[in-house]
Amino acid sequence: MKLSIQILSTDFDGTLHSDFENPPVPSALERRIKDLQSRGVTWVINTGRDLSSLTEALGRARLSIWPDYVVSVEREIYRRTGSHYVGLKDWNERCRIAHDEVFLLLRQDLPQIVDWVQSRFDARVYEDTYSPFCLTAQSNTDADLIHDYLNEYCDQVPNLTVVRNDVYARFSHSSYNKGSALAEIGRLLGISREHIVAAGDHLNDLPMLSIDYARWLIAPSNAVEAVKEAVRRQQGYVSHQPHGHGLADGLERVLGLSLV
């Protein structure tokens, strides 16, 4: 039977892969994705990790499968060509310029923001290649409070947003996220949201866990409450199983419903 699914977009940490399990990607899930790829489905890993961190983790997991596309740092797109991942020049360049512009507006207020955080919380604040403000909080409670403060600041700066994943957060341009990057891959491949599955577990997945971008939404049982609520609200599937087991369970359900 013909598959209705043409793109599978999976978050990595906590959704496809778990450091707490051995193997970190369940064998049944690996087999399922391999089967989908052999039937023409494009597999995208849509992650907050940068490309080198992701490929290292994939190598350590000893997987026999590789994603056809990677969205890294929730915004840059890479396509697999042979054994390499090659950046999509147009998108990545537009993304870089947009971030340079929005970060320029932010620069003058940075010392004040850093001071606000560091005077109240035992949190690590640093700059990296992808954002002039990155945060690692001691707990999710601290991260929630800092996140609220950063969101208030974002209200004053056009196109600025906070990307949050567990105790990590950073500033980003609001037009570039897991959802818009997934839409760009769909556009390039000529595939509409009707044929797209998206799966994720944390706040940084919310932009792609939207029926604007994917018809089929999946969350594993370890997903944070806001993600479970968003997925349920849009008639997606929240598994009772964690991590890759939950993703595999969700895929079986979607495949059962989507055969045409």
Q: Which residues bind Mg ion (CB under 5 A)?
A: 11, 13-14, 201-202
Nearer to Mg ion, 4 or 136 (CB): 136
Q: Could you tell me if 51 and 88 are in contact, meaning their C-beta atoms sit under 8 angstroms apart? A: no
15-29 exposure pattern, b = at least 16 Cβ within 10 A, e = fewer: bbbbeeeeebbbeeb
Q: How far is the CB of 165 from Mg ion (least distance, A)?
A: 6
23 prior amide bond cis, ω within 30 = yes
Helices 140-154 and 110-120 meet at what angle, rounded to 10? 150
Q: How far is CA 66 from the centre of its chain?
A: 17
Q: How far is the CB of 90 from Mg ion (least distance, A)?
A: 27
Nearer to Mg ion, 113 or 167 (CB): 167
Nearer to Mg ion, 13 or 249 (CB): 13
Nearer to Mg ion, 69 or 103 (CB): 69
Nearer to Mg ion, 166 or 252 (CB): 166
Q: How far is the CB of 11 from Mg ion (least distance, A)?
A: 4
Nearer to Mg ion, 32 or 202 (CB): 202
* Chain residue whose CB lies nearest Mg ion: 14
Alpha carbons 113 and 116: distance in angstroms, whole number: 5
Q: How far is the CB of 12 from Mg ion (least distance, A)?
A: 7
3-state SS class at 132: strand
State the DSSP H helix or E strand holding residue 45, giving kind and residue range, or none if neither.
strand 42-46
Dihedral sign from CA coordinates of 121, 122, 124, 125: positive
Q: How far is the CB of 202 from Mg ion (least distance, A)?
A: 4
Q: How far is the CB of 47 from Mg ion (least distance, A)?
A: 8
Count Cβ atoms below 10 Å from residue 44 Cβ, excluding itself. 27
